[in-house]
Copies of this chain bind each other. A is one copy, B any other.
């Protein structure tokens, strides 16, 4: 994959509509030097929308797709219309090698199903996983996977997630041997399900993997920055991720209520506003938008359905960084080097 490959953007997906997607692409274009795009969707609408973004026109090629995947479409329905939908055509551009990555804010289940069908799973990987970089108190973000692609996982799946997550941390966070932990309900050896314990035993034994196995991690430590990669099945991972989002919003709401509770605290709030704005920025999901399907022969980034322009720009930035780091090849190399260990 050429490092200056274009990013294919599903311009029609997401709850916020075409204008937000184009606004996000335009922001990404300004923020990341030299990025170029395929804008996939209704040609006429995209052309009209581009009128507001003169900086995009030269950097973009419009690829027409007449249909859109509905937000409530079942994956099985969506797959049948892969060739005519903006989501399907964006993924196809990756498959053809014309785009380095696809970005969509559309239906997650459909995106996963289409991407899997079109790009196929990497050799050595049984199931792709949905991964994201989460904010932490540490020096860098924390990679977490699976976040919902696989409701149930066996020990072998978890090992493969560990290798893929570590490869992402090595390339994107520039860590030689990322610290990897399995999400569990305690840190003692006996805790958890058979699958988690089996995966722990395998990771402990596989001493040549390009990662440092840190044992188990509990939910309260995910954001502490003690480890670089948190590995879990898609059910508990999705619940942990959404609970973290919900709790952050809950605390912010309580804080708002507290600041409004008296004139005195309102004044204090106004004075300390730059500080609370800093916090708001740090917690805003748009500043962490962009989950990645790891384990496919091609890069696909899922942007949140309700992402703002800033969120879309961030997701595109995630995609661009992965393209430049040649992430797919890095993961393939890791898997090939350590195939014996991973298979064992």
Q: Which residues of A contact B (CB under 8 A)?
A: 72, 74, 136-137, 148, 151-152, 183, 185, 188, 190, 192-193, 218-224, 232, 234-236, 238-255, 258-259, 261-262, 264-265, 267-276, 278-279, 282-283
Contact = CB atoms under 8 A, between A and B. Distances in A.
Contacts of A248: 247, 250-251
A301 B99 CA distance: 58
A213 to B, nearest CB: 19
Nearest to A221: B246
Given A185-B235, A219-B243, A219-B245, 20 more contacts: A152-B193, A185-B239, A192-B235, A218-B246, A219-B238, A219-B240, A219-B241, A220-B243, A221-B246, A223-B246, A236-B236, A251-B279, A255-B255, A255-B279, A258-B279, A265-B271, A267-B272, A269-B272, A271-B272, A272-B272
A243 B222 contact: yes
Contacts of A223: 246-247, 250
B261 A265 contact: no
Nearest to A266: B272
A223 B229 CA distance: 27
Given A236-B239, A251-B252, A148 B272 contact: no
A330 to B, nearest CB: 29
B253 A251 contact: no
Contacts of A275: 255, 258-259, 261-262, 265, 268-269
A279 to B, nearest CB: 5
Contacts of A271: 264-265, 267-268, 271-272
A263 B190 CA distance: 49
A105 B60 CA distance: 62
Given A271-B267, A274-B264, A242 B254 contact: no
A251 B224 CA distance: 11
Contacts of A185: 148, 151, 234-235, 238-239, 242
Contact of A243 (B137, B243, B270): B243
A276 B254 CA distance: 9
A235 B273 contact: no
B254 A247 contact: no
26 contacts: A72-B188, A74-B190, A183-B239, A218-B242, A219-B239, A220-B242, A222-B246, A232-B239, A235-B236, A236-B239, A243-B247, A244-B247, A251-B252, A251-B283, A254-B279, A255-B275, A255-B279, A258-B275, A265-B271, A265-B274, A267-B272, A268-B269, A268-B270, A269-B272, A271-B271, A271-B272
Contact of A193 (B151, B249, B254): B151
A261 B278 contact: yes
